[in-house]
Amino acid sequence: MRFYDAKKIITGLIIFVGLVTYPIWHNTVSGKNLYTPKLELPKDKKECIEPKDYIRVNHKSLLEDWRLSVVRNGIRIYQASNQKKYNMSLNKTCMECHKDKTKFCDQCHNYMGVTNKCWDCHIYPKQLEIGVK
């Protein structure tokens, strides 16, 4: 069997693979691959309302449940797994500790390319300082 035009095909393939994998090696060279989201955790508080692992996976459904519960059923008290009670409020409960969403929520959301619409309406404490615009 003969391989016709081997030189051209192989150089073509190398160029093709190079172009396709450009994002990967570009990020490796520029060090972006090593980037991890930097979350600013509240300094004065030790624990979240639920264990960290649970919150990491379920914060979205938790917030959705809270919304349903407060808006539809008028129930505003959340009983956490450690029997502590919390006010079901994004503005007040969550953002009381994580005052600036750009240093907490956005870190992972931007990293993962996830968008949410919470902040179209809800206000976070830091936003009051810089002005709700």
Partner 1 sequence: MEFKRRDFLKIAGLTFLGLMAKPGWEVVSQIKPLEPSPAPNYFTGKKWAMAIDLIKCWNAKDGCRDCIDACHTIHNVPEIGYAKEEIKWIWTIEYEKAFPEHIHDFNEKKYKGKPVIVLCNQCEDPPCVKYCPTRATWKREDGIVMMDFHRCIGCRYCMAGCPYGSRSFNWRDPRPFIKKANIEFPTRTKGVVEKCNFCEERLVKGLLPSCVETCKEKALIFGDLNDPNSEIRKILSERYVLQRQPELGTKPKVFYIL
Return residues touching partner 1 (CB under 8 A): 51, 54, 67, 69, 71-72, 74-79, 81, 83, 91-92, 117, 120-123, 125, 127-128, 132-133
Closest distance to partner 1 from the beta carbon of 45 (Å): 18
Closest distance to partner 1 from the beta carbon of 44 (Å): 19
- Helix, coil or strand: residue 54: helix
- Classify residue 124 as exposed, middle or buried by CB count within 10 Å of its CB (0-12, 13-18, 19+): buried
- Nearer of residues 62 and 108 to partner 1, judged by Cβ: 62
Closest distance to partner 1 from the beta carbon of 48 (Å): 14
Phi, psi of 83 (to 5 degrees): 70, 5
Question: Which of 70, 69, 39, 36 has the alpha carbon at shortest distance from 55?
Answer: 39
- Nearer of residues 11 and 87 to partner 1, judged by Cβ: 87
Neighbours of 39 (CB within 10 A): 12
- Nearer of residues 40 and 65 to partner 1, judged by Cβ: 65
Return d(Cα 72, Cα 103) in angstroms, integer. Answer: 31
Closest distance to partner 1 from the beta carbon of 128 (Å): 6
- Nearer of residues 5 and 53 to partner 1, judged by Cβ: 53
